[in-house]
Structure formats: C-alpha cells, structure tokens
C-alpha cells in the first residue's frame, strides 16, 4: 500500500510537469463552472464552450434564461449534446438557486461542508457526482477528487487502482491520495489532460508518455 502511495506521488510529479502546473486560484467563477460543466456531458470541450458563450450572448442575465421558453435556451446551447434536456435542467437549476437566497449565485456553498455541498448540488437534475465534485473543488477549494473516465482510465493503466466501477476507483484513490485541495486539483487536471492528449482510450500515444516503464497497460500491449 505504501509503495502505491509513492507511485501516486511519482505519477503526480511526472504528469503535472508534463501538462503544466495548474493554479487552483484564481478560482473559476462558480456559476460559470456549474453551467458549463452541465453543458459538457458527452460532448467535446469546444462544443461546451461554444454552447456556453452562445447562451451568455443570447440572454443578458441568468434570470432571462429562466424566463425564456425552453426551446430558446435549447437553441442557444445547440452545440452541446442533449441540448433539449440540458436546457430544461439548466432552467430548473437556476430557479432552484434563485429560490435559495433570492439571487442567482451559489456562493453560499462556501459556507457548507463538502458533504453538504455534494448533497445540495446533486439534488439538481442533470448534476451528478462528477459535476458537483468539479464545482466544489475548482470554485470552493473543497478537498475532493472528481473521478471522471479519464482519471479512472489513466489511474487504472498505471496500476494505481484496480477497480470495476468508478465508485470503487474513487474509494481506492481517496485512501491513497493526500486530502489537500491543491494537490487533488493538480492530480485531477494532470490526469485529465493526459487522458485527453496522450493516454487515449483507443490507440494511446505511448511514445509521448514519460510513465511507460510504470504502466501495466503498456507492459501488456507493447508487443502490438
């Protein structure tokens, strides 16, 4: 177990160096993070960004998004996948947030514990554990690890975890990694970037990876 922790530190150093040290501050604006992450599911970063920019350009305020016909919101976020469902979810989320304190802001999450924040956010339709984790870590510096498919896959290939489900992968990583927001932020971002750019789901670019000698997947597939 202790050697796994050491390996995690090695992976952290190598991948943060490779993909650039990320600053946890200045933190992202919470509403931007929440809505853009809701848009991001099952689509690409470029489409998420276009949908978000188009949404903000179309409606002057979040209140205007709530007031608009759901079809108009769906049209604005069209580049994102599942636009009709996401439009409905975003309007409902904004209405819930407005009801919380009478203004469109989730800054009140700063005063809540990590667990309370997770519970509150995941009550929103269209917000699951990944989205909630990202908002709490990126915007409120809560020590929490978002385990998306990239973090899971890269951790798995490097032998850091051997888990059937994302939930199990999260439990193992949480036991192993430091519970420090900046460390977790860098780990998440570094493994995400690695998964997107080098450790691809299919045909990973192992010739660009500094960790092949520590990689179980590479050891099993190097003959191919």
Binding site for DNA (CB under 7 A): 37, 40-48, 78-79, 81-85, 122, 124-132, 134, 148-150, 164-165, 188-189, 192, 195-196, 200-202
Q: CB-based contacts of 224: which residues, under 8 Å, 6+ apart?
A: none
Nearer to DNA, 2 or 165 (CB): 165
172: tokens are 């193992």
Q: Which residue has the tokens 């199990």?
A: 168
Min CB(89)–DNA separation in Å: 7
Min CB(6)–DNA separation in Å: 26
Nearer to DNA, 5 or 58 (CB): 58
8 A C-beta contact, residue 191 and residue 145? no
DSSP 203: S
CB atoms within 10 A of CB 202: 4
Min CB(201)–DNA separation in Å: 3
Nearer to DNA, 132 or 211 (CB): 132
* Residue whose C-alpha is closest to residue 58's, from 72, 45, 71: 72
Nearer to DNA, 5 or 218 (CB): 218
Min CB(208)–DNA separation in Å: 14
């Amino acid at each position: 177990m202790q050697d796994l922790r050491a390996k995690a530190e090695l992976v952290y150093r190598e991948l943060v160096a490779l993909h650039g040290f990320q600053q946890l501050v200045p933190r992202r604006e919470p509403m931007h993070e929440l809505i853009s992450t809701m848009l991001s599911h099952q689509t690409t970063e470029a489409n998420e960004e276009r949908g978000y920019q188009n949404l903000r350009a179309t409606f002057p305020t979040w209140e205007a998004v709530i007031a608009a016909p759901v079809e108009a919101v769906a049209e604005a976020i069209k580049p994102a996948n599942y636009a009709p469902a996401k439009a409905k979810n975003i309007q409902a989320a904004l209405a819930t947030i407005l009801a919380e304190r009478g203004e469109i802001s989730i800054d009140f999450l700063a005063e809540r514990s990590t667990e309370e924040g997770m519970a509150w956010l995941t009550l929103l339709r269209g917000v699951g554990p990944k989205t909630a984790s990202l908002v709490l870590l990126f915007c409120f510096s809560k020590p929490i690890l978002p385990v998306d498919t990239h973090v899971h896959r890269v951790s798995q290939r490097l032998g850091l975890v051997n888990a059937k489900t994302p939930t199990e992968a999260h439990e193992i990583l949480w036991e192993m990694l430091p519970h420090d927001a900046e460390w977790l932020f860098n780990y998440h971002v570094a493994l995400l970037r690695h998964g997107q750019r080098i450790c691809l789901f299919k045909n990973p670019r192992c010739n660009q990876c500094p960790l092949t000698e520590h990689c179980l997947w590479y050891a099993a597939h190097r003959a191919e």
